[in-house]
Structure 1
Amino acid sequence: MAEEKDNAEAVVGEIQKKIKDAFEVFDLETNNTVDVREIGTIIRSLGCCPSEGELHDLIAEVEEDEPTGYIHWEKFLPMMTKVLMEKRYRPIPEDILLRAFEVLDPSKRGHLTKEELVKFMTEEGEPFTQEEMEEMLSAAVDPDSNIINYKDYLAMMVVEDN
């Protein structure tokens, strides 16, 4: 029993060190707070992929009763530890992403045009913001052909499960 407890504590300790390292990158004043706008980046850097709605809920959980624009370490740590321990917001596996792209490419060309991708990502479901769209296009679009070879793009998107 004691060995299992020690092992669990070691896992939690390791997770909390990762969280602290990620948090500290954005704690610019070194006062154990980060700008609320950086929380999504911190959470995603820890291998979690929450939707914007889920991210909003996580922020609401750790924000002060009177929002200050900053998130405190003491509130962030227990919430993020729980998220990582429960393996919430895991990235979608590559085979499922591939099937999603293939649905958008019914003629099985193996690529989408930049225009098609923009249309799909801004008009369906939870639309991408202009900034998210630009970031995605800069990574996904082949500058010579103006197309997205989605099998190549998937290889860049997949997050290794650590």
Structure 2
Amino acid sequence: MAEEKEAAEALVSDLQKRITEAFEVFDHENNKTVDVREIGTIIRSLGCCPTEGELHDMLAEVEEEEPTGYIRFEKFLPMMTKVLLERRYRPIPEDVLLRAFEVLDEKNKGFLTKDELLKYMTEEGEPFTQEEIEEMISASVHPDNNIVPYKEYIAMMVVEDY
């Protein structure tokens, strides 16, 4: 029983250290606050992939009653610790991502063209923002031949489990 408690405490301590380190990267003034617009990046760097709606809910939980545009570490740490302990907003598993790309790759070429990717991102499902489109294109499209070798791209996207 004591060993389980120690293991749990060690896990919480490790998670809080990771959260602190991620937060501090964006705490440019070293005053235990970050710009609210950076929170999504911090959360994703910790291996969570919330939707925009879920991210909005998380921000509502840690924002001040009077929004200041900044999030305080003392409010972020307990919320994020709980999220990580509950393993919420886990990324989609590698095999599911691969199957999704294979469905889009109707001719089974092993890649999508830049144009195909743009078409899917703008005409199918929930629309991406221009910033998201540009970010994905720069991360996924091979600069020499304008294709997305999706098996390589998926391997790059996979987040290490904790």
Q: What TM-score, normalized by structure 2, do the two folds share?
A: 0.95
One-letter identity of the residue aligned with 2:62:
V
User: What displacement does 1:24 show?
Assistant: 0.7
Give, in whole Å, the separation in 1 of the partners of 2:70 and 2:26: 11
Q: Which residue matches 1:80?
A: 80
One-letter identity of the residue aligned with 1:54:
E
Q: 1:25-83: CA deviations, max 9, x gaps?
A: 11111111100000001001111111111111111111111111000111101110000
One-letter identity of the residue aligned with 1:89:
Y
Give, in whole Å, the separation in 2 of the partners of 1:144 and 1:17: 40
Q: Which residue matches 2:125?
A: 125
Alignment partner of 1:45 is 2:26: no
Give, in whole Å, the separation in 1 of the partners of 2:142 and 2:154: 14
User: What displacement does 1:3 show?
Assistant: 2.3
Aligned length: 162
One-letter identity of the residue aligned with 2:145:
S
Identity rate, percent: 76
User: What displacement does 1:142 show?
Assistant: 1.6
User: What displacement does 1:144 show?
Assistant: 2.0
Q: Which residue matches 2:92?
A: 92
User: What displacement does 1:124 show?
Assistant: 2.5
Give ranges in structure 1 of 5+ residues lacking alignment: none
Which deviates more, 42-51 or 142-151?
142-151
